[in-house]
Amino acid sequence: MPLPHIAIVGRPNVGKSSLFNRLAGSRVSIVDPTPGVTRDRVSRMIVVPPPAELEDAGPRFAELVDTGGFGVYVAEGGRYDDAGRDLSELTDDIEHQIENATRDADLVLFVVDAQAGPTALDEKIAGMLRKRGRTDQIMVIANKVDGESWEAHALEFAAMGLGDVVMTSAKAGYRRREFMEQ
Ligand code: GDP
């Protein structure tokens, strides 16, 4: 049976690689504080613990794919990021990446940054995901909820209309158990 396929999408610098590394259990993806750091799509098998009520069920496995930051482009040896570029210029590239990421995924983790709050690029990605339908297969992950004080900020993302917002902190591990159970 093929492994369930989980894709991580989101604009640069929201913590996709950090989340990937935490889920994959080792540092395999590049984490960089600079928005738009180029990285290849990385894929890894992960163990998903069973929910508390199914403790006897044993571990389950999934393939996790980090697609890299949207807004990062490599063309003819050059590197471009979304800093200073018009959003409309990015649309085709982003759309292409969303399509790649979501085509085969059973679950899409749409990662956003609770500390930064919703940005125009988040809205753009949310719009594209809504347009693709299958919104029940999309989970909005508000990352960087390092403690309780960030929870209210995370809830702002509920307005994107992609369902409940699941909070976590890839760095601090806050709400990690709830996140894994979800
Ligand atoms: P990506 O571009 O979406 O893959 O983001 P990265 O994983 O490279 O992270 C971007 C920056 O956010 C790095 O400086 C990380 O250390 C930081 N970061 C990632 N997760 C968290 C988190 O949960 N809390 C905080 N405070 N910072 C985080």
Model's pTM, two decimal places? 0.83
Among protein residues, the one with the nearest Cα to ligand 1's atom 13 is: 33
Report the pLDDT value the prediction gives residue 89, as an integer from 0 to 100. Answer: 54
The amino acid that residue 31 corresponds to is V
| Model confidence pLDDT, tens digit, residues 131-167 | 887 888 999 999 999 999 999 999 999 999 999 999 9
Quote the pLDDT of residue 83: 47
CA 124 to centroid of ligand 1, rounded, Å: 20
Looking at ligand 1, which residue's alpha carbon is closest to its atom 8? 31
Q: Determine the pLDDT at residue 33.
A: 53
Atom of ligand 1 nearest to the CA of 172: 23
pLDDT for 35 equals 52
Q: Is the CB of 12 under 6 A from ligand 1?
A: yes
Q: What is the pLDDT of residue 50?
A: 74
Name residues whose C-beta falls within 8 Å of residue 93's C-beta, 6 or more positions apart in sequence.
70, 71, 73
Q: Which of 49, 67, 69, 68 is nearest to 59 (CA)?
A: 49
In angstroms, the CA 45 to CA 55 distance is 21
**Positions of the chain with pLDDT lower than 70, given as ranges:** 1, 26-42, 55, 67-94, 97
Output DSSP code: residue 103.
H
The pLDDT of residue 26 is 57
Q: Is the CB of 17 under 6 A from ligand 1?
A: yes
**Between 120-131 and 87-103, two packed helices, what is the crossing angle to 10 degrees?**
40
Burial of 54: CB neighbours in 10 Å, binned 0-12, 13-18, 19+: exposed
